[in-house]
Amino acid sequence: MSAVPRIVGTRLLQAVPLVVATIVVNFAIIHLAPGDPVTMMVGEGAVSADQMDTLRKSLGLDQPLYVQFFSYLKSVLQGDLGISYVYHQPVTEIIASRIPATLLLMGTTYVISTILGIVFGIVAALRPSSAQDRILMTVAILGYSVPTFWLGFLALMVFAVELGWAPISGMVDSGLAAGSWEYWLSVLRHLALPAAVLSLFYTGLIARLMRTSMLNSLRGDFIVTARAMGLSRWRVILRHAVPNAITPIVTVLGLQVGLMLSGAVLTETVFGWPGLGVLTVQAVAQRDYPLLLGMFLLTSVMVIIANVVTDLVYLAINPRLRGNG
């Protein structure tokens, strides 16, 4: 199977120009957006002329554009994304400190919605146009039609404000020793609502997708073979139909990792979850441009990585791509 390392190499290489392109776009946003970059970055009249000059120098804005680009590229590659205006800390550090919270929320949501979505999609596809199919699919559409932030909002009103079952905001109660079981229990209590709300949305999306793919797979000729060879109905479904239904949607499932950021921003905001989403919204509100652009760069790279990983997973589960080894 000598083809595999070559394909892996190609995929990784293809990601490099995308990352560079993202950096270029980021650079372009700073320099091509209307107005003086420094004014744009700090806002009109927000700081004194002295500070503006210092900033201009620190950004190397007195240099020619290509020099600026290469010094920008160099600092980005060194992990230097500038200093936040609000926090007065390196952007990289601020972002890094928020990653675990977002990973926890998105990871939990991703696992729950992928599993449930696939199961619901299969169940619906096994009896197309039946009551179980119609009900599941209508619920799935409801799931991704109801705005997540509003649903989260209602959940807060009912479970946190009225019933007091769930905390109103945050990720963990203060004063608990990190790593103790009380700490994790508290995290779990905080996680339950946002993860449930966000999962409902993605479960709906994935269930729809899986249903379509499963219907296609069930129409496959190899299903006829499996039936004609006397395999049991469940073996035909689980061993043949399901793997062949999941394979084509792996790509889309991979995309969801990146797309989930949108949902996470809203959900984090509603539930005061201290992740990248809340950080971004704050940066927007405070016009903290270094932080915003850092977020832009980081999330772009994240999406690119998610794509590469998806491609590789697809390669791993789909023998057809591995050539004639």
Partner 1 sequence: MASLPTTPDPRPISAEPDELRRATPHWLEVWNAFRLSIVALVSLGVLLLLAFAAAFAPWLAPYSPTEVNPMDILQGPSGLHWWGTDDLGRDIYSGALYGLRISMTVGAMAGLVAALLGTVIGALAGFLGGWIDALLMRFTDFVLTIPVLFLALVLIPVFGSSRLIVILVIGGLAWPSIARLVRAEFLKLRSEAFVEAARGYGARRFKLIFSEILPNTFDLVLVATALQIPAAILIEAGLSFLGVGDPEPRSLGLMLKDAYGLLGLAWWSAVFPGLVLSALAISLNLVADAFNDAVRGHE
Partner 2 sequence: MSDPSTAASAGRTPNPVPAPLLDVGGLSTELRTRKGVVHALDNVGFVVRRGEAIAIVGESGCGKSMTARSIMRVLPRSTDRVASGHVRFAGRDLLSLSESGMRKVRGADIAMIFQDPMSYLDPLMRVGDQIAEVIRAHGKASGEGLEKAVEDALASARISDIRRVAGSYPHQLSGGLRQRALIAMALACEPELLIADEPTTALDVTTQKQILQLLRHLVEERQMGLVLITHDLGVVANVCDRVYVMYAGQVIEHAGVHDFFERPQHPYSRGLLASLKSLCEGDAHLSSIPGVVPNLLAPPAGCRFRARCGFSMDVCAKQDPTVRLDHGKDRDAGCWLFKDGSGHV
Neighbouring-strand partners of residue 90: 83
| 83 belongs to the binding site for partner 1 (CB under 8 A) | no
Residue 33 touching partner 1 (CB under 8 A): yes
Tell me if 116 contacts partner 1 by CB under 8 A. Answer: no
Candidate residues 2, 48, 78, 129; the one interacting with partner 1 per rule CB under 8 A: 129
Q: Are 114 and 199 in contact (CB under 8 A)?
A: no
* 226 versus 260: smaller Cβ distance to partner 1: 260
Check residue 18 for interaction with partner 1 (CB under 8 A).
yes
Q: Which is nearer to partner 1, 114 or 229 (CB)?
A: 114
Nearest 5°: CA angle at 80, between 77 and 86?
Answer: 150
- Measured in degrees and rounded to the nearest 5, phi and psi for residue 59 equal -85, -5
Under rule CB under 8 A, residue 149 binds partner 1? yes
End-to-end Cα, the chain, rounded Å:
5
- Binding status of residue 6 toward partner 2 by CB under 8 A: no
Is residue 6 exposed (0-12), middle (13-18) or buried (19+ Cβ within 10 Å)? exposed
Contact between 251 and partner 2 (CB under 8 A)?
no
Span 165-224, contacts to partner 1 by CB under 8 A:
168, 215
Per CB under 8 A, 324 contacts partner 2 = yes
Give the one entry of partner 1, partner 2, none that residue 227 binds, where binding means its C-beta sits below a cut-off of 5 to 8 angstroms depending on kind.
Answer: partner 2
DSSP 3-state assignment of 90? strand
Which letter, b or e, does each residue of 232-252 get, where b requires 16 or more Cβ atoms within 10 Å of its Cβ?
Answer: eeeebbeebbbebbbbebbee
Q: Does 272 bind partner 1 (CB under 8 A)?
A: no
DSSP assigned state of 164: -
**In this complex, which beta carbon is closest to partner 1, that of residue 107 or of residue 183?**
107
Residue 236: HSE in the Cβ half-sphere, 13 Å Cα cutoff: 18
Residue among 112, 131, 118 nearest 238 (CA): 118
Whose CA is closest to 224, among 247, 211, 210, 240? 240
> 156, 267 in Cβ contact below 8 A?
no
Residue of 270, 274, 279, 290 that binds partner 1 (CB under 8 A): 270
Residue found by looking up tokens 């995929």 in the block = 11
The piece of 104-112, 193-201, 214-222, 269-277 that touches partner 2 (CB under 8 A) is 214-222
From residue 117 to residue 136, what is the string marking binding to partner 2 with x (rule CB under 8 A)?
----------x---------
Per CB under 8 A, residues contacting partner 1 are 18, 29, 33-34, 40, 128-129, 134, 138, 141-142, 144-150, 153-154, 156-157, 161, 168, 215, 255, 258-263, 265-266, 269-270, 280-281, 284-285, 287, 289, 292-293, 295-296, 299, 303, 306-307
Query: Would you tell me which residues interact with partner 2 (CB under 8 A)?
Result: 127, 219-222, 224-233, 235, 239-240, 243-244, 247, 317-320, 324-325
